[in-house]
Amino acid sequence: MTANGWVQILVFAVAVLAITKPAGLYILRVYDGSMRWLAPVERAIYRVCGIDPDEDQHWTRYAAGLLLFSAVSMLITYVALRLQNHLPLNPFARGPVPDRQAFETAASFTTNTNWQSYVGETTMSYFSQMTQLAFHNFASAAVGVGAAVALARGIARRSGGRIGNFWTDLVRGTLYLFLPGSFILALLFVQQGTIQNFAHYVTAHTVEGVQQVLAMGPVASQSAIKQLGTNGGGFFNANAAHPFESPTPWTNFLSMFAIFVIPAGLTYTFGRMVKNQKHGWALWAAMFVLFAAGVTTAYWAEARGNPIHIARGIAAADGNMEGKEVRFGIANSALYATVTTDASCGAVNSLHDSFTPIGGLVPLVNIQLGELIFGGVGSGLYGMIVMAILTVFIAGLMVGRTPEYLGKKIQSREVRMAMLYVLIFPAYILILTAASAVLPAGLRGLNNAGPHGLSEILYAFGSVTGNNGSAFAGLTGSTYWYNTTLGLGTLFGRFAMMVPMLALAGFMAERKAVAESLGTFPVTTPLFVVLLIGVILIVGALTFFPALSLGPIVEHLLMNAGRVF
């Protein structure tokens, strides 16, 4: 570890703190309807689509609209990928995407996961990249933020279960938040050297005298929304490690910063909506403490290196550089891995599979905690709110009172929805990991033995169910078994968790507000932050610790003992 590395991490943390309030205020104006600079376009969209922007939907109607939109858009993408060879903007005659891969990809991008079991530059046409995958990058992000705002509305008001209008939230999020933000970010990327063109691929002659084909394409525009919308799907197989996508330290910094901008800002938006700004900052503080712990651990582990390699003279005692870009180094690789798995992004600038066992444990645990450490756009906030509700419920039991959260009593219906949200996530991960570790179909895609092989399977199912999309790349995911189960995992992790959350929003909207009393547990104090972090860690530890013990923890002990497998 170096002073320079710590300074870079500190600068990033300060930048995130500085942007939280302005981003939060902007998001608040977008969703309360006071942002009007594109009003003519917004009204035209409502008129063409037959949307009544003033309709206040019951939570069941909001959820139905969300599910219908996602299902139809997923189907359109599946068909477009299967017919890719008949569609325009295909100068290299890319063939149809195989059925299992088209299903997995359509499901993955619809759910803001962007898990990719294919090589982007050799599989997808420009048409598929720009009209299908990029569309979902915008739409799935807007769906996530809209859902988080709907939960905030349910907590903030009494409206008989009405939590807003899904179609209005979708339009406003796309029009005022993600389109202008991505436009600005894409221009910054282009200024730094990220390519943006429709050119044919370039054939270069290397110094060794061989030919190398360099992929071209509209990369900057794709990269901007994949970062800002915490999508993560790369135009190139190398993702953000590719020099055409992230050519400079500034593009690397902007990529990480864009991932956290909206999730961090949403905590401030939430505080304003529920008229308790201190609570919004308390949620931010809990997120930041967990982020700081993760990046510190990852940086330490990677800077320490692999003692087996050092003892055998394979590597110097200056850290683990395997799978990392020299131009980014250990500090920025550890920071990027932490940021992208704190959020449900999945973009990578280094190979997580090549991290040390403890270094790889950090992104794995980040995902398994529900990716609520700032989290995905929208999903991070509503995941943290669910944990806050569980925290005040536990605190209420400790003092023998009916728990309250921001002036609303938490009773059996709310607790059932919160627990359903919490239990759905590990159920799919652990059941499918266990099946893949013993079934021939699952083992056929495994390229590593021992505990690292188990970590690869566990990471894959955690990543898709957590809607992250990054991977331990030693697992061959392009098989019928993994294309199908991982594709289903993206859908399960998105919608089977989002519907109980929307039900929770509706139930909270039906509750009348109660005045604070001496027995009300305060949700703005350091004690609340500590309890909230404790609940998050305990839920994750109790659920996943046995699996982690057999994977990265055993691998770490073997590494220190000088044993390989």
Work out the average pLDDT over 362-369.
93
Work out the average pLDDT over 466-474.
86
In this prediction, residue 31 carries a pLDDT of 95
Q: How confident is the model at residue 210 (pLDDT cuts 50, 70, 90)?
A: confident
Question: pLDDT at residue 407 above 90?
Answer: no
Q: How confident is the model at residue 476 (pLDDT cuts 50, 70, 90)?
A: confident
In this prediction, residue 314 carries a pLDDT of 65
In this prediction, residue 514 carries a pLDDT of 81
Question: pLDDT at residue 196 above 70?
Answer: yes
SS (H, E, C) 308-343: HHHHCCCCCCCCCCCCECCCCHHHHHHHHHHHHHHC
Question: Could you report the per-residue pLDDT of 510-532, keeping only the tens digit for each?
Answer: 988 887 777 778 899 999 999 99
Work out the average pLDDT over 376-397.
91
Comparing CA positions, the residue from 308, 306, 334, 332 lying closest to residue 319 is: 306
Q: Which residues contact 412 (CB under 8 A, 6 or more apart)?
A: none
Q: What percent of the chain has pLDDT over 90?
A: 64
Place of tokens 């009209």: 131
Alpha helices in 193-248 (DSSP H): 219-228
Q: What percent of the chain has pLDDT over 70?
A: 98
**Residue 453 and residue 555 in contact, taking contact as beta carbons nearer than 8 Å:** no
Q: How confident is the model at residue 40 (pLDDT cuts 50, 70, 90)?
A: very high
Task: Name the strand (E) or helix (H) holding 202.
Answer: strand 202-205
Write the single-letter amino acid at 100: R
Question: Could you report the per-residue pLDDT of 99-135, keeping only the tens digit for each?
Answer: 999 999 999 999 999 888 887 777 888 888 888 888 9
**Residue 190 and residue 220 in contact, taking contact as beta carbons nearer than 8 Å:** yes
CA dist., res. 317 & res. 124, Å (int): 41
* DSSP symbol at 446: B
In this prediction, residue 125 carries a pLDDT of 87
CA dist., res. 285 & res. 374, Å (int): 10
Work out the average pLDDT over 429-448.
90
Question: pLDDT at residue 317 above 70?
Answer: no
Q: Label residue 479 exposed, middle or buried (CB < 10 Å: 0-12, 13-18, 19+).
A: middle
In this prediction, residue 432 carries a pLDDT of 94
Comparing CA positions, the residue from 491, 452, 492, 487 lying closest to residue 472 is: 452
In this prediction, residue 1 carries a pLDDT of 82
Question: pLDDT at residue 313 above 70?
Answer: no
SS3 136: helix
Top-confidence residue, 171 or 542 = 171
How does the average pLDDT of the chain come out, rounded? 90
Question: pLDDT at residue 347 above 70?
Answer: yes
Top-confidence residue, 288 or 202 = 288
Cα 23 to chain centroid distance, Å, stands at 18
Work out the average pLDDT over 292-314.
86
Report angle CA 360, 483, 117 to the nearest 5 degrees. 55
Question: pLDDT at residue 400 above 80?
Answer: no
In this prediction, residue 464 carries a pLDDT of 92
In this prediction, residue 475 carries a pLDDT of 83
CB neighbourhood size of 550 (10 A): 15
SS (H, E, C) 348-403: CCECHHHCCHHHHHHHHHHHHCCCCCCCCCCHHHHHHHHHHHHHHHHHHHHHCCCC
Q: How confident is the model at residue 250 (pLDDT cuts 50, 70, 90)?
A: very high
In this prediction, residue 315 carries a pLDDT of 60
From residue 79, alpha-carbon distances to 39, 97, 325 in Å are: 33, 10, 37
